[in-house]
Structure 1
């Protein structure tokens, strides 16, 4: 009995071991978390001892740039509430993964418990956005109509993905004009990263989906770095999709020079070395064909030694599906992978062709219902593990600048910025763009104005190009740390120049200086896009908030309103 008891205790500790001191709170409710956060914030210890105590409970160092800002956090119940909630939700889901409750033959992507938590969170968020009012910090008396609800100004998932689709289409058009090839690269992690594999014997290393995603991201950054050093540029869209057992895999829509394909695949297999499948162009969703080839190793790829598939659905860690644009549009091909796990609305689903082969209306409705249910589960998965759905690469960071320029009602004075402003708005007419007007920007022209695609190659040395940066001003956050607040955008000119560069010999310690090519940037213009400072006010206290804003306006301007 003693041995059985010890074995049960060891099994229990193994299931909850990574939660540390918070393991006993894995079933805590929201009220329990608030009570625990308040207790931790009021816990009295000498300063440095409390930081060490907090580190043990969080399982990680307390965030903060200085000791004083770290202490401000551990004495703040709001910090503890957010930190404990995030940690407990992830550890609880990790427990379900260890129990094999998530997977192909169980609950898909995420547990039902976490799905319910996410649905309740979204419901509270929607209610809060409806009841929270935005008003200017300094409000002129008589301008009470200048208030908005957060619901009116917040971007929705549908609008975000519609914007991403517009840029993806623009990138595909530019790629076709430049004669670039397109392909869909799928990267999968090794078996030990899968908590509950649908095939084969489990060999899970115990890592969370967040750890698995970080491993993928680290390898991908190494791939881009190696290719850049070799003079090979890539552009495209990265999409993260979970397996049913919550282990992530990546679908990457690639744009590249046709003669660079071998170098790209060799570099990818350096970091994902287990088998490569190269698929001949076909319509998305079609089964493997006789033209599909398998390379069992990187050495086989270098030697160009391939073989046909051993069986119909043979998989590989790396899979490249070449895209023939006469068969399938590249942008739609890429977005289908993203929209498989995102409900972006009827219009975008139809435009991309998410349900192209369904003629029966009842069957189509059933498919849409199934798609929405899967999208909700994947949304809960991404929210829990902090994983972004999709991201563009090999193109100027222009999505934020696009939004900043579209919000600006008046045209900038600087000609280059005025050109970008007109491209983002789709018109050179001034005034606010109201929702539902259908006024669309020129994403293709916007990308071209900011340097085009990295896949087309680097500009010649000595040739300047323009890009967009952030205009910031210093400020303080709630914990007394210096931060940079975004106030607008800057127009930056980048030129590759030979500049003095120092290098240290790691064997002798000798420092040598020589000229090397470096990217030199110069800010040539700045544009404030956030001209009004806004504050949040609950709807029930709005009259008082308006009076305070008007009083601040009178105090700042010295205007006698009564006169």
Structure 2
């Protein structure tokens, strides 16, 4: 493994030299060293772009100033303390996460050195710092306050204020200590541009927040996201992501996502679960049997879309296909030429998707006020430069159709709706005639394109559909964008739970729960939706709901608790119908790792 990594490093250095060498030969040794230092942290594609622009400047002063300014702007995409991690390998990110978690763990174990520096830095003018008793230099450090201040000042612990007399308990002292540690660890996390876990009575406890901050997995997830998005932002800034260069997502982000998937597969294949009946499966086998499998995920989405369409035909509802795009200030490049868009304001895909979400929230609120109840699906996909746009397949009552279109158009054009081309391109409606084609067929290609690309030829720009699907997957992962969402209808979680039951409910042949189970088992989304109360019934009024219960260790009899906060873990155990519980998960499973 070490030898393999050394080969990769050597290959990267050679490739970097090939990029830099033609340019370094044109400058003196001082400028060459300056260029090498400034460009080292960045990918070869970004190095090439910077050098190409820099060496087109009039003189060496303008050239060096451009390199300095550009690399400074790129470095600011990451917080100062991790600016050196641009395009860092997974191994380097893991090492940094481990280093930070160990630092936090040391503060948790022994906070006194930090407490001393905190007291020194926050002391008031004329105030002295003393050690409690004569325990030596490692004793607890406390500021020397006056007796009246010490007795009368209230303290705040985990959001609650206590008087001094109430703090003189072992419990209060422990919470005071924990609060100090939490504040120090939070400040440390903030110094890396990370948001520390928030505490509250209902969710994260103070102890749970500290546990997160001393766990390298917490740091690793956030550093991965930070570095991945910084890499992608850099590629977008240099207009590398467009129809003419690296479509949908940058090549380096796509490669990293493929590598991540391979690591995940390797991890799943090396871990097994075994139940109390002796059945043993690898996590990879289990993963291939649920919606983590692209084929199953795709088939389920198509099945549900087809079910909605069949239901709409029976109810006499209209089908409408809608496409909504962002204002031009969110678009980095033009689609036909790939040239930079002068109206772009530096906004990134996650900000563009947040804009679309906000406009959709406004539209939904107006739907509710006017009793408009569409149902169907929403698909989010990237345009050529990574800017998201939404496709929606909705079914709606005929008399509500015009109102729905008017509301969606209003909010789609609410911001910058007067810019050139907005009325024609930002919001598009297609009323689907069932005599000319299937409504599901309209959304089918978007579902396939955004999952695995199997069965499609090429995209709009002539790219292979399978490679396109890989890039779209990398894009969605990088920006944390939810690609598919069901609008209206019954719960898909109950549907999946019912499909776990392969045999008829004993003695309940004609009951509702058996009819619903039969519909789910036969992939009949239309019948399932009707039996579950139709399209508009609120979830709380549906006849069948999920049943949750505590997870119990069958060996010790203990209730399992969450790792961080120590709360009881509630897991799906079955279904609830007519106040009766139907257990669908009969076995208790434990995880084991394959021996190496």
TM-score relative to the length of structure 1: 0.71
1:481-496 paired onto structure 2 within 5 Å? 481-482=566-567, 484-491=569-576
Q: Distance in 1 between matches of 2:85 and 2:382?
A: 27
Task: Name the counterpart of 1:255.
Answer: 395
**2:526 is paired with a residue of what secondary structure?**
helix
Query: Is the CA contact (8 Å cut-off) linking 1:275 and 1:317 kept in structure 2?
Result: no
Alignment size in residue pairs: 437
Q: Does 1:177 align with 2:314?
A: yes
Q: Distance in 2 between matches of 1:387 and 1:393?
A: 17
Q: Distance in 2 between matches of 1:412 and 1:395?
A: 24
Query: Is the CA contact (8 Å cut-off) linking 1:275 and 1:318 kept in structure 2?
Result: no
Q: Does 1:108 align with 2:250?
A: no
After TM superposition, give the deviation of residue 266 of structure 1 in Å. 1.9
**C-alpha spacing 1:116/1:257, structure 2 compared with 1 (3 Å):** same
1:206-285 paired onto structure 2 within 5 Å? 206-273=346-413
**C-alpha spacing 1:214/1:467, structure 2 compared with 1 (3 Å):** farther
Task: Name the counterpart of 2:229.
Answer: 90
**C-alpha spacing 1:420/1:368, structure 2 compared with 1 (3 Å):** farther
Point out the structure with the larger helix share: 2
1:96-495 paired onto structure 2 within 5 Å? 96-136=235-275, 139=276, 143=278, 146-154=279-287, 155=290, 156-198=293-335, 201-273=341-413, 315-343=424-452, 345=454, 349=455, 354=456, 370-397=464-491, 399-409=492-502, 411-412=504-505, 415-426=511-522, 441-454=523-536, 466-473=543-550, 476-482=561-567, 484-491=569-576
Query: Is the CA contact (8 Å cut-off) linking 2:512 and 2:531 kept in structure 1?
Result: no
Query: Is the CA contact (8 Å cut-off) linking 1:274 and 1:318 kept in structure 2?
Result: no
After TM superposition, give the deviation of residue 242 of structure 1 in Å. 0.3
Q: What stretches of structure 1 of length at least 5 have no aligned partner?
A: 277-295, 298-309, 356-363, 427-440, 493-522, 542-563
Q: What stretches of structure 2 of length at least 5 have no aligned partner?
A: 1-59, 112-180, 552-559
After TM superposition, give the deviation of residue 88 of structure 1 in Å. 1.0
Q: Deviations over 1:112-164 (max 9, x none)?
A: 1111111112222222222321112xx36xx4xx1112222212111111011
Query: Is the CA contact (8 Å cut-off) linking 1:396 and 1:467 kept in structure 2?
Result: no
**C-alpha spacing 1:24/1:445, structure 2 compared with 1 (3 Å):** same
User: Given the alignment, which residue of 156, 172, 190 partners 1:55?
Assistant: 190
Query: Is the CA contact (8 Å cut-off) linking 2:498 and 2:520 kept in structure 1?
Result: yes
Query: RCO greater where, 1 or 2, for CA within 8 Å and sep 6 or more?
Result: 1
After TM superposition, give the deviation of residue 274 of structure 1 in Å. 6.5
Say what the alpha-carbon RMSD is for the aligned residues.
3.2
- State which structure, 1 or 2, has the greater radius of gyration over its C-alpha atoms: 2
Task: Name the counterpart of 2:582.
Answer: 527
**1:28 is paired with a residue of what secondary structure?**
coil
Q: Distance in 1 between matches of 2:94 and 2:307?
A: 47
After TM superposition, give the deviation of residue 4 of structure 1 in Å. 7.8
**C-alpha spacing 1:464/1:79, structure 2 compared with 1 (3 Å):** closer
Task: Name the counterpart of 1:495.
Answer: none
Query: Is the CA contact (8 Å cut-off) linking 1:469 and 1:490 kept in structure 2?
Result: yes
**C-alpha spacing 1:63/1:384, structure 2 compared with 1 (3 Å):** farther
Task: Name the counterpart of 1:42.
Answer: 102
Query: Is the CA contact (8 Å cut-off) linking 2:309 and 2:440 kept in structure 1?
Result: yes
Q: Distance in 2 between matches of 1:6 and 1:185?
A: 47
Task: Name the counterpart of 1:14.
Answer: 73
Q: Distance in 1 between matches of 2:241 and 2:478?
A: 14
Q: Deviations over 1:428-476 (max 9, x none)?
A: xxxxxxxxxxxxx32221111112224xxx69xxx96535345243753
After TM superposition, give the deviation of residue 315 of structure 1 in Å. 4.0
After TM superposition, give the deviation of residue 409 of structure 1 in Å. 4.7
Query: Is the CA contact (8 Å cut-off) linking 2:494 and 2:544 kept in structure 1?
Result: no
Q: Distance in 1 between matches of 2:325 and 2:463?
A: 28
Q: Distance in 2 between matches of 1:479 and 1:207?
A: 35
Query: Is the CA contact (8 Å cut-off) linking 1:192 and 1:203 kept in structure 2?
Result: yes
**1:391 is paired with a residue of what secondary structure?**
strand
After TM superposition, give the deviation of residue 489 of structure 1 in Å. 4.5
Q: Which is further off, 75-84 or 477-486?
A: 477-486
TM-score relative to the length of structure 2: 0.67
Point out the structure with the larger strand share: 1
Query: Is the CA contact (8 Å cut-off) linking 1:16 and 1:95 kept in structure 2?
Result: no
Q: Which is further off, 237-246 or 475-484?
A: 475-484
**1:57 is paired with a residue of what secondary structure?**
coil
Q: Distance in 2 between matches of 1:79 and 1:17?
A: 23
After TM superposition, give the deviation of residue 19 of structure 1 in Å. 1.8
After TM superposition, give the deviation of residue 61 of structure 1 in Å. 3.0
User: Given the alignment, which residue of 80, 83, 96 partners 1:23?
Assistant: 83
**C-alpha spacing 1:151/1:274, structure 2 compared with 1 (3 Å):** same
